[in-house]
Amino acid sequence: MNTSIEKALHKGLDDVEVPPRLEVQTIEKIREKSKITFFNFRLNRKYVSIAACVVVVIAFIGVQPYINNNNILPSENGLDQPSVQAPSSTNLDNTGQNSAVYHNIDISQIIRQPYEANVPASYFFQNWLQFVKKNPGVGSHWDNQQFNKDSIESVLHISIISPVLPKGDYTTTQSVLVDDATGEVMAFRTDYYYYNKDTLEFQNRFSVFYFLVDYFNTEELEQVQNVTKPNGQIHIDDFYPSTNVNAKVPHVRKLIYLENRVGIAIEAEADVVKTEDKVDEEKSRERYEETDKQLIGLMKSII
């Protein structure tokens, strides 16, 4: 038996109360076994090395599930400390928005609440665009069609950033504003209609407009511009809510940004909330306030 091994074994047994006779017999047995083991090891070092590698791999595979399943390890003071940062499981749709889920349904299927009072048509931005056209004698019309980011960039000669949409379920429509005289495209519009997917009830709408400023009255556009970017910092004028909000009227807000002869506008419309077929003014106001926040977030995500 190897002398160093024997010394180590004797040292290890010093702290254990073992009868002398049993200790001697044990050492003798180990000595006999070690001769065979050492002899086989010398003859088969190559195969033993391979076997050792296999054992290490199997051991790692066995331990790996425990490593992966213990991302939070207890510390000495009893507090939990993160050991591995797990990847987020956000639901991204095809436009890269967080928790916004697109559904390909026609907007005619979405249920709108009846109103006793109506918002004037000119209050909506799509109609207001036609109103400020330079030449009022020439008409224009919205033409429903599908287009992509490249189409807008080609016509307006700008780079388009896809908006970060609010979470929820939505469907879309797209259209262009066409000059009746020349057939030229003056504006692009994409509407995002949010609704309750279980009841198909309309909740709110966000419309993103890209338009060429040269087709419209510049002075009027500048007067209504409420988004600027001085020194690279985005500034949005405060919304001043009316002290007498009529919850029967849909909530409409607009943000308008002008830069390099191109305009960007985002319009938001929110529906009322009804409880037992009655308008719930408190919940409606909450929806309006949330829509305003989402509107600002949309504008900041594209400029």
Lowest mean per-residue pLDDT among 47-56, 123-132, 242-251: 47-56
pLDDT tops 60 at residue 36: no
285 or 96, which is more confident:
285
Contact status, residue 252 vs residue 269, Cβ threshold 8 Å: yes
**pLDDT of 25 strictly over 70:** no
Integer Cα distance of 269 and 193 in angstroms: 9
Q: What mean pLDDT do residues 239-256 have?
A: 79
Residue 208: CB atoms within 10 Å: 21
- Among 89-103, 173-187, 231-245, the range with the most confident prediction by mean pLDDT is 173-187
Look at strands 262-270 and 274-275 and give their pairing: unpaired
Specify whether the CB–CB gap between 249 and 269 falls below 8 A.
Answer: no
Q: What is the per-residue pLDDT for 119?
A: 77
E strand or H helix that includes residue 191: strand 185-195
Contact at 8 Å (CB) between 52 and 41?
Answer: no
The pLDDT value recorded for residue 90 is: 27
Q: In this structure, what DSSP letter does residue 173 have?
A: E
pLDDT at 71 over 70: no
Q: Convert the pLDDT of each residue in 37-49 to its tens digit.
A: 433 434 344 444 5
Q: Which residue has the higher pLDDT, 136 or 166?
A: 166
pLDDT of residue 237: 96
Distance in angstroms (rounded) separating the CA atoms of residues 244 and 224: 23
Kindly indicate the confidence band of residue 287, based on its pLDDT and cuts at 50, 70 and 90.
Answer: very high
277-297 average pLDDT score:
92
What would the two tokens of residue 103 be?
A: 């559904």
| Cβ(270)–Cβ(203) below 8 Å | yes
Under the banding of pLDDT at 50, 70 and 90, the label for residue 243 is low
Residues forming a β-bridge with 140: 179
Q: How sure is the predictor about 101, in pLDDT bands with cuts at 50, 70 and 90?
A: very high
The position carrying tokens 């008409």 is 139
Ramachandran quadrant class, 9 (left: phi over 0; alpha: psi -120 to 50; beta: rest): alpha
Report how far residue 236's alpha carbon sits from residue 30's, in angstroms, rounded to the nearest whole number.
85
pLDDT score of 117: 65
Buried b (16+ CB within 10 A) or exposed e, 86-95: eeeeeeeeee
Residue 78 tokens read as 């009893």
pLDDT for 248 beyond 50: yes
At residue 242, the pLDDT reads 64
244 band by pLDDT with thresholds 50, 70 and 90: low
Percent of the chain with pLDDT over 90: 44
Q: Name residue, tokens 């007067």.
A: 223
The stretch 46-54 carries a mean pLDDT of 47
Q: Would the pLDDT of 92 be above 70? A: no
> Which of 234, 205, 233, 222 lies closest to 258, judged by CA?
222
**Average model confidence (pLDDT) across the chain:** 74
